[in-house]
Amino acid sequence: MTPLALAPPEMEPVTLAEARQFLRLDQTEEDDLLATLITAARLMIEAAAGRCLVEQPWRIVLDRWPASGEIRLPLSPLMRIQAARVYDVLGSAQPVAGAALTLDKTADPPLIRVTGEVPEIGRTHGAIEIDIAAGYGATAAAVPAPLRQAVLRLAARWFEERGDVASRDAQSLPRAVAALIAPFRRGRL
């Protein structure tokens, strides 16, 4: 299974104005830098939490349908299945009927169950594509406050402590940021 990001979210979970206010910045000369840091912080928080924050389109590529009929997705939370297709022997995309796949949002990680008739696959690699929308919602307000705060704090830290701090944070997040993310991490047994 290969997850592919199709596009970035339409907005970040933290606005430039919120970051400027948090940092007590009046000037806007460094807005480009701050916007880049917000995006980088979101990506790091998403990776650490194992969650997509703001709605974003992804494509899941599979070689074959699982024998169990269940596809455990590496992304969460999952909002909806946008479309699905199977490539036949001639390399043409055959649409999968919406009723053939059922999304179980309550499972963690989310599951897509094959519950109906699906087209026959025709190639050995990348035969199935499922387009999904992942994230808490389309707006920053839908993102849980602790995750928004984690993005804000991490971006502010990088803005204030320029230099190698970002590479150190990539190895181990600051304790305050890690504590904000902890309730959202997927437990492993």
Name the band, by pLDDT with cuts 50, 70 and 90, for residue 161. Answer: confident
Class of domain 2-53+143-184 as given by CATH: mainly alpha
Q: What is the DSSP letter of 54?
A: B
- pLDDT band for position 172 (50/70/90)? confident
Residue-wise pLDDT for 33-90, tens only, equals: 999 999 999 999 999 998 999 999 999 999 999 999 999 998 899 999 999 999 998 8
Spell out the domain ranges in the chain.
Answer: 2-53+143-184, 56-134
Q: How would residue 153 be classed by pLDDT, with cut points 50, 70 and 90?
A: very high
For 141, other C-beta atoms within 10 Å of its C-beta total 11
Distance between alpha carbon 63 and the CA centroid of its chain, in Å? Answer: 22
Q: Nearest 5 degrees, angle CA 65-CA 107-CA 119?
A: 20
Residue 170 scores a pLDDT above 90? no
pLDDT in tens, 104-122: 988 888 999 999 999 889 8
Q: What is the pTM of this model?
A: 0.87
In angstroms, the CA 134 to CA 74 distance is: 10
42 or 188, which is more confident: 42
CA atoms within 13 A on the CB side of 48: 24
Decide: 164 and 55 in contact? Cβ < 8 Å: no
Q: Residue 185: what pLDDT?
A: 86
Instruction: List, for residues 3-36, the tens digit of each pLDDT value.
Output: 999 999 999 999 999 999 999 999 899 999 999 9
